[in-house]
Chains A and B, each alone.
Chain A
Amino acid sequence: MTKAKRKRLIYNLITFALVIAAFIILQSMIANKMISRSLKGQLVPICAWIVMAVSLNLVIGFSGELSLGHAGFMSVGAYTGAIISGWLLQVYEVQDTTLRLVLAMVAGGLIAGIAGVLIGIPVLRLRGDYLAIVTLAFGEIIRSLVNVLYVGVADGKLHFSFLNKNMPAGVSMLVDGAKGAVKIKPVATFTAGFVLILITLVVVLNLVNSRAGRAIQATRDNRIAAESMGVPVTKYKMMAFVTAAVLAGMAGALYGLNSSTVIPTQFTFNQSINVLVFVVLGGLGNVLGSVVSATLLTVLPEVLRAFADYRMLVYAIVLILVMVFTNNPTIRAFADRLFAPVKAIFRRSKKKTAGGDAQ
């Protein structure tokens, strides 16, 4: 037991060390102007996608439920963040961008968490495919709702309306229906993204390695056995689901406040699938894998710009090759021998991945 604990500790330390090292390297590159505009512009979105991938991994990899509506929580966070940030600026004239960003992210996480609870109550009583379909529907519902949502500030008050744009005269719109959240003052920073990643890693890794985390994994491995041992399945699945929703909401707020505008069509089913690809490629139940794959797959299309119109084709081929090669026993055995000393540390997490794959 102590040996397993030590391995886990080392695995977690490596995860943190890699993230912190990447941050320090990138920061020093920015300070020395050694970084291209292209990469610099992607830093905040990368942070947001990492948090999305890690949080979805909590639901899919650890609690074993296939959720296809994760982008829905992200859009809740993005819209909430945009509204809160605009409201703070226009009504209370909060000029401190860090304060606005932090409050927006907290609010984004909170509202997405509430959405997570509401959707979790009916959804988590379902199993397998049914759950996947309902979460998919949830993502679409959120998108349709924000499509007809109008929020504006007038006379120092927030005004909400649905379906029709009933706004008092002289209103300054924050969310304008299909036009999305408009005139956002971008306040997101790479440092904030980095802190959010650290928070996510601390939350997820601690949760997974706690008593509750073991219960969550037990419900994944064998629901009936877990139930018969007295584990309240719905409660623990809910815990994983809502935690993931809160983190996705915070990532959404960060992502939304990085741009001057957010539109509903940015958070479609495709986007949920995109995050799912990050998770599957990184390995179900492998947190470090999610971090790495989210980073690489966000940067990859940009690196492939040289291929012009064929780049998404190349991207797809790269995806297929990676999937095939990481699952090929010969290649895996070869890699195992090559990295035998390093692999020893990861062996535990690999077993987990294999368990996840079998589902």
Chain B
Amino acid sequence: MFTRNFRNICRRYSQSVTFRTTETSPVQQNDNQVGLFYTIEKDVCKKLFGHGGLPKSYMKQTKTFTETTLMIRQPALDVIDCIKASDLNKPAIRYVLYGETGTGKSLTLAHLIHYAHDAGFLIVHVPWVSEWLRRVPRHKEMSNSQTREGFVDLPLDAAAWLLHFKTQNQTLLKCGDLKISKDYVWSKREQTSAGAPLAELVEQGISRVKYACDVIDALVYEIKLLSNNKQCKTFVAVDGYNCFFYPMTRLNTPTKKKVKPEEVTLTTTFMELTKNDWTNGVIVLSVDQIAVPEDHQESYLPKYLLYKKGFEHLDPFVPVEVGRYSEKEFLSCASYYRDRLWLRGPEDLETELKLASACNPYKFMELCAPL
């Protein structure tokens, strides 16, 4: 007791220590550590976020700071506590993270994924939905779906996602306990039989890009079954969920007709996954203003961004607001930037930056950039 107080006093006097904490696993983090930074080890980082998941600007920062750290913030801790306290036998609870642009929704999601990984969940993570529906380079690989009439497939994206899924869940898939329940016939010569491990299904999808979307469908169905049978607990994380409900995508069929999100197979798959008709799982979604084009970016509240259909689909959900920095968080972030040589100058300039950035994390990072 005495030693802990002494340590706290030491921390208060030495500025350089106050923004860090030594707890590396989110499972053990608690309310005392709000506002402090913890480091994610490099291999864990590569495994979980190798194919996306962290925003691009953040990736640049990790390269400059030579380390990946996240700030422990109240919304993430709230969700972790809720997950710990919830009864997994009941249907899966849906949490929706919302907030203004740049307050840290994607990073909170990353924090929760790290927690899920440490707690042994099976992670189903969609890094950024707009990447599929709105990012259209010159020629987007699209094909008409074979199993379903009138639906559009995105084979390359699906294959990439399956690879991501595989790297994230390496340990769980290697155990080999998770088995498929029924047969899947892909073509005359290819099929996956019942009782095969989940890893084989995933391999099938990665190698045969043509059937990747159907593989994902099957995968989702299997995961739901496995969770219901209590063979694994699942953690579903989707960033930018409201993109599924925006009336238009940027995709065009070869006949130059605009595609709606409901006509893309991936949409239906993930809508299936986020229904609350299965147990032993947690679903965390985030709705973002920047996932939709600029005409419809008036508000950041879920009801506006999800439109009527999404709102009804997700109806009983727990909204979690991710807000701006509080005083303590702001000071800790500023001292972290000083430590990493990102911010220089006299001490009292933090008030200026605080006022100018209005404590918005992204804006604060942008403001510190040229200084």
- Mutual binders A and B: no
Q: Which residues of A contact B (CB under 8 A)?
A: none
